[in-house]
Chain A
């Protein structure tokens, strides 16, 4: 065994390398505040591991990206944990980056001779953000799609090269397969490779110059850190308080208690006049292994704990598949881009120049200031300028982020959009389960052939100019998509069309003449109304007639009562006959009868409705008596002209199936 080790050592020098890596002197002893670089290394390692495994299941194309992520999230064993760790580690990494930066700046570890290391660190910061940004698109869901659209449009406003830059980034004039393949190559190839290379340089430079030794002149007392911790946890508590309505109570209590604990500690330290042990007495030097690594390991473990906590608490969102025709108004960038997102709404950033100013110049200047820090900090005054600048930046970041989220959480339109997006995401999952898989064209096609999703949209666009679909609590007519009608309702309410209830109402004079039915059409006067007024149907008659007519619709929701009430239905049909109410004088019923009124054979069945919507001026329906109902499918007029329909066959079928309640339902 020993021989093997010495042979390995002789040929590779691996032992010496390990020694070199582990047995690094830590001047002034190991400290908790040195852990941030290690936590970042750990986080990046986690991202690499989980990223490679996700890669094995991910498929970057416009018709498979969402689908493969759906598979990872919902079907692959432990896939949701894998994706959850990757997602939440990316979030926490941003926090760790900021902590690392703060630590370096307040310890003035960016000063000569460590300028280059600082610069590499800042570049690493930007590469990490770029990796997050590219990763956000990869699930190809509504959220990532629309947020990335905004981000790449911002690239388009870069002076001179903007248009070309945008075209190169998204791989063409429009978003599609090549946007995904490019973003994926960036996210999983180029950017990680750059990260590894630069981290190598970063750590090499760090080791070359060693840990910034705590010199008395630049020493920052432990009390300073306790104050920072107090401000940090109090800030967190304030933020938690601002959003206390949307979180469980402990989200407020934990940072509050932490802040209180830190304050007690500070008071204690003041009372005993020991602001910092190490400031008074130089601590013995420590070693990287095991003194510092021990602290690193504990904090890294806590980081992982936090990640897992979020994976289980919040889960990992996958909104519905990207749909360029359905604007997703709740699209937001990842939370750490929210300040920029909000900033662009402010007045100084209006207009074309404003956008360039807000999206490019301001972030550019701030980044440049970050880069300049080692030069500014050469003098002691400069150092304090840097520290103040950093705190102002972080403070501004926090305030803008809170403002952005606060604004959203009190915006009913935003909340409605989020709710709609969630419902749609759930609907896709339902459809996939119902279909036992996703069609080769992709998951979006399921939504597009789903009456429950498309019916309301098509109805709102094409039918609600005249028709209503139910009413809200205040009695306002609705358009199918839960919005109030823009124009006055001028044609029947179609909610529950064909059901016994709906038909019963049609057979009552009041409803028939009301604006909820024919009140605002030519049919408010006519033979049918005369009939209803003259006949004065009994409630019993109405029940029977409605049961009979409604059975022709063959509604899924009524299959049980249609099957049970055979007697009632048979009676209803009998009453319609010549000897009783004589409906057949005007209407065809079961294929027999007059032609003056609409044919009631298979009334409100799928085919009847499709034909009716297709062309209600057909002699089978209203003929020349038709009021304003357009033909929605191609039709030939009495003069032999072809009248182009407003919709295609599939859309009409979707509306009909939705109206009739014929869709995949649990």
Chain B
């Protein structure tokens, strides 16, 4: 606010310089103020990246006598306590596992999730192999890919606790693996 008023309309000292300043300030402030809500939003959007992995879960599924002695695989549901965002489910089905008895005392466990794209693997119609209906991958009962399977690896074997197995109890460590890659990578 000038003290002595010139009789002419006020000319800015240097309009270009003033405008440059105005433009710079506008752009800087504009960027800053958009980045606050966007930043807070992106942070919440990306929050899952820093959350815990699924982790593993050791669970008792059966007694060894429950499994067919001829080596036919049997599907078991995994039911566990599960936290989904805010909800804590006391008993929630989280997946399923094939158990197969070999001989008297050996048991193998396979995740029923297809290593190709995560579809649910089943036993084929004539009961001779594992078969994934989504993209027609086929696995023998040892979990190895067979025929024209598109799956990059065989079925994922899960750890069966050997000490408890001696006592006739089948305890399996349930883990999830990344689909679509040749190596078995935990997720």
Contact = CB atoms under 8 A, between A and B. Distances in A.
B44 A56 contact: yes
A76 B51 CA distance: 10
B88 A437 contact: yes
A293 interface: yes
Interface in B29-43: 29-30, 32-34, 36-38, 40-43
Interface residues of B, number: 33
B26 A297 contact: yes
Interface string A273-294: 0100100111110000111011
Interface in B82-106: 83, 85-90
Nearest to A305: B33
Interface in B20-74: 22-23, 25-26, 29-30, 32-34, 36-38, 40-47, 50
Contact of B88 (A49, A72, A82, A436): A436
B19 A290 contact: yes
B44 A78 contact: yes
Contacts of B47: 76-79
A274 B88 contact: no
A437 B33 contact: no
Given A85-B36, A294-B26, A67 B41 contact: no
B88 A439 contact: yes
A216 to B, nearest CB: 16
Contacts of B83: 436-437
Interface residues of A, number: 49
Contacts of B25: 294, 297-298
Given A46-B37, A77-B44, A78-B44, A301 B22 contact: no
A244 B124 CA distance: 78
* From A78, A435, A440, residue with most partner B Cβ within 10 Å: A78
A437 B87 contact: yes
Nearest to B50: A77
B9 interface: yes
Nearest to B43: A78
B88 A53 contact: no
A283 B22 CA distance: 18
A506 interface: no
Contacts of A201: none
Contact of B29 (A70, A72, A85, A301): A301
Contacts of B44: 53, 56-57, 72, 76-79, 82
Given A281-B9, A290-B26, A85 B40 contact: yes
Given A49-B37, A77-B43, A85-B36, A67 B86 contact: yes
Contacts of A274: 5
A454 interface: no
Given A56-B44, A77-B43, A82-B44, A290 B37 contact: no
B26 A50 contact: no
A605 B50 CA distance: 46
Contacts of B33: 42, 297, 300-301, 304
B37 A85 contact: yes
Contacts of A438: 86-88
Q: Is the interface of A mostly helix, strand, loop or mixed?
A: helix
A565 interface: no
Contacts of B10: 277, 281, 283
Contacts of B87: 64, 67, 437-440
Contacts of A277: 1, 5, 10
A78 B46 CA distance: 10
Nearest to B7: A281
Nearest to A269: B1
A71 interface: yes
A284 B18 CA distance: 15
Nearest to A300: B33
A344 B29 CA distance: 44
Contacts of A75: 86
Contact of A68 (B36, B42, B86, B90): B86
A38 B149 CA distance: 61
B86 A70 contact: yes
Nearest to A442: B87
A283 B12 CA distance: 11
A22 to B, nearest CB: 11
B41 A50 contact: yes
B45 A301 contact: no
A392 interface: no
A402 interface: no
Interface in A43-87: 45-46, 49-50, 52-53, 56-57, 64, 67-68, 70-72, 75-79, 81-82, 85
A52 B26 contact: no
A375 interface: no
Given A72-B44, A77-B44, 6 more contacts: A53-B42, A56-B44, A68-B86, A293-B26, A297-B30, A298-B29
Interface of B: 1, 5, 9-10, 19, 22-23, 25-26, 29-30, 32-34, 36-38, 40-47, 50, 83, 85-90
20 contacts: A49-B37, A53-B44, A56-B44, A56-B45, A68-B85, A70-B86, A77-B46, A78-B44, A78-B47, A82-B37, A277-B5, A280-B5, A290-B19, A293-B22, A297-B29, A297-B30, A304-B36, A432-B86, A439-B87, A440-B89
